[in-house]
Amino acid sequence: MKLLFLACLRPKTGNSTTADRIREHIEAAGHTCILKDAAGFENSSEVVGLIAKEKFDAALAIHLYKAGRFLLDSGISFGVIFGGTDINEDVQDPRKREIMGKVLQKARFAVAFTEEIKKLAEAYWLCMGSKIHVQPQGIRTKASKALNWKTFLHSSAVNENTDDVHLFLMACGLRQVKDPLFLVDAFSEWHLRNPNVYMMIIGPAIDPVFTQKVKAKVKRSQGVYLVLEKSQEDLHAAMKNCFAVVNSSISEGMSAAILEAMDLEVAVLARDVPGNAAVVKHGDTGLLFSDPKEFVELSKRLIREPALKKEIVSKAKEYVKKHHSWEHERDTYQNLIQSLLSDTKF
């Protein structure tokens, strides 16, 4: 089967990473999967023309509005995957919500990363729940053995004795929705009282204008550092060595960084937004905060109570093992894609 796969492919974003992983699953089943950036199309007629020219048998899209709408007039069987911002943000716009409803109605299947996303979709579009499958993101981590932690810290301007440092690491692309500056002022004030705590933001410069804002703010802030990008293996190694991984996003579908930290047995502190709360159970698999003051209080507690940290890390590891199997994710998508060519519902 030759499959057209539409997604918003801004480099180093969650959608792009998810699309690459799912394409790998599809191609492992022997199909041809052509990944195209939905942002490169102005209207559905362009996609219809591409489908006719390339003779695609079926299609898949991540994000019901930004990508799925281009498949409404495609004439081929297709499936869709909720992207996070579609169900959390775009659905608030009545025009977009109507289009997304049409996409969901016409799709052979839809995939939600969490039960919460499925429930939200069912609330907006009645009677569509039967075609929505819940498949959490599959996770595989591989930490580089070549990364020297002490050298890494010193190269990032953290010059304290590494045994005394409590490094809080935020892994995210530099764009507004990730809100990497949310905690900076509060953390910097904490660092001035406790010089052994540091925050490091690691991620690619996705939004150039916003990146400059982040750079300027971090430069003025004590105890906060910015590392623009690392390879996936080096990032996983940095996660494995840090004290805790932090997520302060305004909106999340399902954060791969959080799941990777859990798999690497690192404590997670995450902003209490629906996508994060669906993964992080407060006091069980991680800690949730609503504002910078609460973040600092919870971070202090995590330092003060090593037994709590150990218990959270252990339960988070078990959670990822049980609910975010990479192998199970592969099976699910391979079966769903096969259903596009048959009358069998999966």
pTM: 0.78
Residue 167 has what pLDDT? 96
Distances in Å between the alpha carbon of 15 and those of 31, 37, 160, 180, 251? 21, 11, 37, 18, 13
Beta strands in 166-261 (DSSP E): 166-171, 197-202, 224-227, 244-247
Residue 343 has what pLDDT? 55
The two structure tokens encoding residue 312: 């959270």
The two structure tokens encoding residue 162: 């590494």
- What is the mean pLDDT of the segment spanning 24-38? 96
List every span in the chain annotated with CATH 3.40.50.2000. Answer: 2-138+325-340, 149-323
CA torsion through residues 226, 235, 20, 86, sign: negative
Nearest to 80 by CA among 3, 190, 5: 5
Residue 65 has what pLDDT? 95
Can you tell me the distance from the alpha carbon of 140 to that of 89, in angstroms, rounded to the nearest whole number? 29
Residue 11 has what pLDDT? 62
Nearest to 245 by CA among 112, 327, 143: 143
Residue 66 has what pLDDT? 94
Instruction: Write the DSSP string, 236-293.
Output: HHHHHHSSEEEE--S--S--HHHHHHHHTT-EEEEE--HHHHTT--BTTTBEEESSHH
Of all residues in the chain, what percent carry a pLDDT higher than 90? Answer: 78
Residue 109 has what pLDDT? 96
Can you tell me the distance from the alpha carbon of 179 to that of 207, in angstroms, rounded to the nearest whole number? 12
- What is the mean pLDDT of the segment spanning 238-244? 96
Residue 245 has what pLDDT? 98
The two structure tokens encoding residue 288: 């949730």
Residue 62 has what pLDDT? 95
Can you tell me the distance from the alpha carbon of 309 to that of 299, in angstroms, rounded to the nearest whole number? 10
Can you tell me the distance from the alpha carbon of 63 to that of 47, in angstroms, rounded to the nearest whole number? 16
Q: Say yes or no to pLDDT of 188 above 80.
A: yes
| pLDDT digits 0-9 by tens, 140-150 | 999 998 888 88
| pLDDT digits 0-9 by tens, 37-75 | 999 999 999 999 999 999 999 999 999 999 999 999 999
| pLDDT digits 0-9 by tens, 315-334 | 999 999 999 999 999 999 99
Q: What homologous superfamily does CATH list for 2-138+325-340?
A: Glycogen Phosphorylase B; (3.40.50.2000)
Confidence of residue 14 (pLDDT cuts 50, 70, 90): low
Q: Say yes or no to pLDDT of 162 above 70.
A: no
Q: Say yes or no to pLDDT of 128 above 90.
A: no
Residue 129 CB neighbours (<10 A)? 14
Q: Is domain 149-323 classified as CATH 1.10.275.10?
A: no
Which residues touch 12 (CB under 8 Å, ≥6 apart)? 173, 203, 204, 206, 229
Alpha-helix residue ranges (DSSP H) falling in 29-93: 44-54, 85-88
Confidence of residue 89 (pLDDT cuts 50, 70, 90): confident
Instruction: Write the DSSP string, 48-63.
Output: HHHHHHHT-SEEEEES
Q: Say yes or no to pLDDT of 151 above 50.
A: yes
**Which of 80-84, 155-159, 217-221 reaches the highest mean pLDDT?**
217-221
CA torsion through residues 116, 333, 230, 233, sign: positive
Output phi, psi for 222, to 5 deg.
-75, 135
Confidence of residue 264 (pLDDT cuts 50, 70, 90): very high
